Amino acid sequence: QNIGAENQLDAIIKDGKLRVCTTGDYKPFTFHDKTADNYQGIDIDLAKSLASSLGVEAEFVATTWKKLLADFTTGKCDIAMGGISVTLERQKQVFFSEPYLVNGKAPIARCEDEAKFQSIADIDKPDVTVIVNPGGTNEKFVREKLSDAKIEIYPDNVTIFRQILDGKADVMIAESVETELQEKLHPGLCAINPEKPLQYGEMGYMLPEGAVVFKAYVDQWLHLAKATGEFDRIYASHVK
């Protein structure tokens, strides 16, 4: 259905559901658990909290990093949540909520290589293989910053970290929150300087272009989630 932008909030309430586009491949924000057949993560819990504040159900709509913008701009969902970077390129076609996290791109590698990969220049060498998931800002970053290193595209952002451990690639450059979690999930991998990312980044929720009333609501809900400690509680339950 094509909802007039200014009526988005009313339409969601009337519809009884909040359709949330999410990729399900990005811990700790959005993860599709195949066995349990459900979505888990910081942004999944926050989506449920947003839906509940509206008195509606959250309905998760699967998307991919490649299809995210197309799925969103063709109206497959009301909001997109799950570790999405705010970019000016996307902002030309959509609105973003206020940013809810600041982090940025940082490397992760086998721990024995930590000293070898301290900077972009260290990584950008012909004998270094950088593995990257396609379609998002990780791919954009490595394509812009690396010219000599080998770039290997690997489609599954869930098993991608295992590839480094197995020696199929040397480094991945991802978001610092993610590298800090993945080093815990993969003993042998080390997040490299996550406190000093190689590039500044912010995460936000993707909203329909022009949906000013809905954006005002989401921003206020987010503000309250932060002010009341709900945001921190949800965050801490996924990042131990």
Ligand X SMILES: O=C(O)C(=O)C[C@]1(C(=O)O)C=C[C@@H](O)C=C1
- Rounded to whole angstroms, the Cα distance separating 198 from 106 reads 6
| Minimum CB distance to ligand X, residue 178 (Å) | 5
| Minimum CB distance to ligand X, residue 95 (Å) | 15
Are 33 and 94 in contact by the 8 Å Cβ rule? The answer is no
Interacting span for ligand X (CB under 6 A) from 5-13, 37-45, 83-91, 96-104: 83-91
Under the criterion CB under 6 A, does residue 138 sit at the interface with ligand X?
yes
Under the criterion CB under 6 A, does residue 136 sit at the interface with ligand X?
yes
Residues 6+ apart with CB under 8 A from 108: 161, 164, 171, 172, 173, 174, 179, 182, 183, 189, 190, 191, 192
Omega of the bond leading into 99 within 30 degrees of 0 (cis): no
**Contacting ligand X (CB under 6 A), which of 64, 97, 103, 133?**
133
Give the DSSP letter string of 179-217.
HHHHHHHSTTEEE-STTS-SEEEEE--EEETT-HHHHHH
**Contacting ligand X (CB under 6 A), which of 43, 78, 170, 175?**
175
| Minimum CB distance to ligand X, residue 65 (Å) | 5
Under the criterion CB under 6 A, does residue 28 sit at the interface with ligand X?
no
**Contacting ligand X (CB under 6 A), which of 84, 123, 190, 218?**
84
Residues that bind ligand X (CB under 6 A): 26, 65, 83-85, 133, 136-138, 157, 174-175, 178
